[in-house]
Amino acid sequence: MAMLAVAWLLAMAAHAAEPIRISTQKMDLIMQVNGQGRLVQSYLGKRLLHDSDLGWLKEGREVYLTHGMEDYFEPAVDIEHADGNPSTLLRYVSHEVKPVQGGKETVITLADDQYPTTVRLHYVAYEAENVIKTWTEITNGEKKSVKLAKYASATLHLDREAYYLTAFSGDWADEAHMNTEPLQPGKRVIDTKLGTRANMFTPPMFILSLDQQAGETNGECIFGQLGWTGNFRFTFEVDNKGGLRVIAGINPYFSTRTMKAGETFVTPEFFFTYSQEGMAKATHHFHDWARNHQLKDGTGTRLTLLNNWEATYFSFNEDMLVGLMDDAVRLGVDMFLLDDGWFGNKYPRQSDTQGLGDWEETHSKLPGGVGRLCEEARKKGVKFGIWIEPEMVNPKSELYEKHKDWVIHLPGREEYYYRNQMVLDLCNPEVQEFVFEVVDRLMTSYPEIAFFKWDCNSPITNIYSPYLKDRQQHLYVDYVKGLYSVLDRIKAKYPRLPMMLCSGGSGRIDYKALEYFTEFWASDNTDPVERLFIQYGYSFFYPAKATCAHVTTWNKQASIKFKTDVASMGKLGFDIKLSDMTEQEIQYAHEAVANYHRLHPVIGDGDMYRLISPYEQQHAATQFVSKDRRHSVLFAFDIHPRFGDKLRYVKFRGLDPALQYRVNEINLMPGQSTWVKDRTYSGDFLMTVGLDILSAGSMKSRVVEVVAQ
């Protein structure tokens, strides 16, 4: 032990003087080793210009705080060693820097000099996109098991005048509300313990404004996101000196892990960006990084679709579905998506009370099976997609009757249900195989399936894993690992298969999940007015191409134009029968779909600017600009303006002031007179003076296309 300690001290002495600098083009995270050999964070913020200044940085607080030592605030890691000692003291051992895809990775190794516990801090800096991805590996080098009670992915330290936290909260059909509050001394915790539908009340993302509340174009802010499709926890603790410690990781609630001798625990990844120029820039960082490095098929196009869910719910037959495929053709969308209700024979899935888990086509409803539907879709020239919810089971199902041992349920207690269903035990490799086969069997039998909508309607209930036996505290984490191992296999076998992540709306959404999914269902609430808020909230982190938005019959007062214009700011789809629409509306929608396809490089791959927040006005406006700044589209909405509402001109952003742009209103109802046609303005004028786009009408919308000459 003493020899090891000497080696560590020598290594530490060799590197103590050099700061460890993790930089992107616009941000710096700087650490150093202090006189006691401990790793401290000296700086986080705007990238510093001169290397020669780095020596002047003060030491700062310990990067990865441990339980049991001198710091009196929340630790990142808490280990009970095999001999019962609950403390860990980490000293710097070494660090290395290597190029990785898209960036540069720095790995810093820390170790306890009394116990063979090693902690490796990983930081990948995506230089061009200004995002840092960080995670931690904790290794138990002891000969016996230890108990790991806390295991954060990362801690960030800040020392500012004030901190403003914007968090996101919600519920079913009410997602992504933004709430901003100044952080006061003490702790503010955002966490969830719902397990599967983990983000039903809050997603794992936050915005932190530094010194003062940041705006879209001004102020300093940090955006953070945890890549973990399960229970998470963010702790924001303002200490006695006014310093802020942000700890991000898995929620340690009921999750103390027993680590065997030699075992390494790898935490989820935490992603963050910093902007000195307000929130729009931070959004661009996240969107660019996601498209280039994280989101499945991030740079690809997306399939527009017609979904039968709101058109039929569970009441459909083969002919009705084939009829809806004709609707898809008339709209000009790429795909028909068959939703819930197509499976189960002993217990046909005629409502959400039965059949879940029995993944065989209902013969009475679909005598020709999925094969006939694929064939009809092919004949009509549309793709075919299908809904599954493979992690769940109804107690009224053959699966439950056969395999109660696969169901998460408490021994000796009456069962309780969320949406009449229960969660399968993905900790169990046999269940992982079953879930993989739900997809694999469908794909093998019907290779024409072009898309999956993967739903997850229940949180983990009746919390006990029959598989884990005496390791129940591993359930929440091992479940998510089981899910990832299934998704890894699906991605390896079907790398190009687009999939939508759904969870009764967006009850499960994070950037690790989006490694496997091309998009997510933002909400079951498709009232376009509500969607203006929900899509606004998610837009801070997720690009439009990942955020599914459908036109439905919700909100009977709103026009099809208003609904389609709102949905065109996301990944456009329809959940409606054309028989619910007039001829004029169908004609309008057809043209709007064609415009959406044409504008994909702008909406899907361009920069998004939130021009008017629906939180601040009875109007909303969002603009998308292509990366070369030559093409832009602006969506403007009047919600319920009051009498005397002051209508200001809407100023564009992100254009080239020196260029001349041709401006046209698009997405017009047949016969609707246009307010701007083929006019030419300079980028300078559009951004400085703006255009008179808003109106005093209720639920009105205008879409303006701007093309450089």
Residues that bind ligand DGJ (CB under 6 A): 309, 339-340, 387, 455, 457, 502, 504-505, 521, 524
Partners of residue 126 on adjacent β-strands = 131
CB atoms within 10 A of CB 58: 9
Q: Look up residue 324 and give its DSSP letter.
A: H
Among candidate residues 616, 615, 614, the one with its CA nearest the CA of residue 635: 614
Nearer to ligand DGJ, 386 or 686 (CB): 386
Nearer to ligand DGJ, 79 or 509 (CB): 509
Least distance in angstroms from the C-beta of 312 to ligand DGJ: 11
Strand duo 305-307 + 335-338: pairing: parallel
CB atoms within 10 A of CB 286: 27
Least distance in angstroms from the C-beta of 504 to ligand DGJ: 5
Nearer to ligand DGJ, 117 or 307 (CB): 307
Nearer to ligand DGJ, 272 or 387 (CB): 387
Using CA atoms, how far apart are residues 650 and 639, in angstroms rounded to an integer? 15
Using CA atoms, how far apart are residues 651 and 189, in angstroms rounded to an integer? 38
Using CA atoms, how far apart are residues 248 and 234, in angstroms rounded to an integer? 5
Using CA atoms, how far apart are residues 163 and 187, in angstroms rounded to an integer? 12
Nearer to ligand DGJ, 526 or 623 (CB): 526
Least distance in angstroms from the C-beta of 376 to ligand DGJ: 21
Nearer to ligand DGJ, 524 or 605 (CB): 524
Q: In angstroms, what CA-CA distances link 36 with 13, 59, 62, 86?
A: 10, 11, 11, 21
Nearer to ligand DGJ, 111 or 509 (CB): 509
- Lookup result for tokens 């030592």: 69
Using CA atoms, how far apart are residues 615 and 585, in angstroms rounded to an integer? 29
**156, containing H or E segment:** strand 146-159
Least distance in angstroms from the C-beta of 349 to ligand DGJ: 9
Nearer to ligand DGJ, 22 or 424 (CB): 424
Vertex 536, ends 535 and 540: CA angle to 5°? 105
Nearer to ligand DGJ, 31 or 546 (CB): 546
DSSP string, 612-635: E-TTTSSEEEEEEE-TTSSEEEEE
Using CA atoms, how far apart are residues 533 and 283, in angstroms rounded to an integer? 16
CB atoms within 10 A of CB 35: 8
Nearer to ligand DGJ, 387 or 533 (CB): 387
Residue 498 contacts residue 490 (beta carbons within 8 Å)? no
Residue 366 contacts residue 342 (beta carbons within 8 Å)? yes
Q: Which two tokens stand for residue 86?
A: 């609950």
Q: In angstroms, what CA-CA distances link 12 with 111, 348, 403?
A: 11, 66, 55
Least distance in angstroms from the C-beta of 341 to ligand DGJ: 8
Q: Measured at CB, which residue is nearest to ligand DGJ?
A: 340
Max Cα-Cα span within the chain: 86
User: Helices 369-380 & 318-331, crossing angle to 10 degrees?
Assistant: 30
Least distance in angstroms from the C-beta of 343 to ligand DGJ: 12
Burial class (CB within 10 angstroms; exposed 0-12, middle 13-18, buried 19+) of 148: buried
Nearer to ligand DGJ, 74 or 339 (CB): 339
Residue 518 contacts residue 498 (beta carbons within 8 Å)? yes
Q: Which two tokens stand for residue 249?
A: 């990781």
Q: In angstroms, what CA-CA distances link 564 with 519, 529, 700?
A: 18, 12, 11
Burial class (CB within 10 angstroms; exposed 0-12, middle 13-18, buried 19+) of 479: buried
Least distance in angstroms from the C-beta of 505 to ligand DGJ: 5
Q: Which two tokens stand for residue 279?
A: 């929130």
Nearer to ligand DGJ, 548 or 666 (CB): 548
Using CA atoms, how far apart are residues 65 and 693, in angstroms rounded to an integer? 53
Using CA atoms, how far apart are residues 682 and 690, in angstroms rounded to an integer? 10
Least distance in angstroms from the C-beta of 387 to ligand DGJ: 6
Using CA atoms, how far apart are residues 478 and 646, in angstroms rounded to an integer? 55
Using CA atoms, how far apart are residues 291 and 295, in angstroms rounded to an integer? 6
Residue 501 contacts residue 523 (beta carbons within 8 Å)? no
* DSSP-based three-state secondary structure for 561: helix
Nearer to ligand DGJ, 281 or 531 (CB): 531
Nearer to ligand DGJ, 163 or 521 (CB): 521
Using CA atoms, how far apart are residues 342 and 360, in angstroms rounded to an integer? 8
Strands (E), 455-606: 499-501, 519-521, 547-551, 571-574
Nearer to ligand DGJ, 307 or 623 (CB): 307
Nearer to ligand DGJ, 340 or 527 (CB): 340
Least distance in angstroms from the C-beta of 419 to ligand DGJ: 8
Q: State the number of CA atoms in the 13 A half-sphere of 124 facing the CB.
A: 16
